[in-house]
Amino acid sequence: MSKLNSTFAALSDPTRFAIVNQLLENGEKSAGSLKGIVAISGPAISRHLKILRNAGVVEQRIDAQRRMYRVRPQAIMAIHNWTISHQEFWQSSLARLEQVLIAEKETK
């Protein structure tokens, strides 16, 4: 599975998406402080963080007794680049469709 596929697969889960969104909005957080954003247990948060880590979406550092997590900018940039490349495709496709519809309307 490509890195981008892994990223999208990891973010497809609503809990993991909420975790990443929280980290993006508030910066680095400990695993324990992330429990409050979703109603799941500490071990469940840890499992979700492991999936996000393995997909390269978040990174972890150990600070004394706590594990701190933050979003990897490279993962967000990869999503951004993919979105932009597809946005250009859809914009050009829709522009062509618009021209066809205008031409069709003018012939009626």
Domain ranges of the chain: 3-107
CA torsion, points 17, 13, 9, 87, in degrees to nearest 10? -60
What does each of the 108 residues of the chain score in pLDDT, given as a tens digit? Answer: 588 899 999 999 999 999 999 999 999 999 989 888 888 888 999 999 999 999 999 999 998 889 999 999 999 999 999 888 888 888 888 889 999 999 888 887
pLDDT at residue 68, rounded to an integer: 95
Q: Does domain 3-107 have CATH number 2.130.10.10?
A: no
Tokens of 55: 């997909």
pLDDT at residue 39, rounded to an integer: 82
Query: What is the model's pTM?
Result: 0.77
pLDDT at residue 85, rounded to an integer: 85
Contact between residue 19 and residue 36 where contact means Cβ atoms under 8 Å apart: no
Run of H or E including 33? helix 31-34
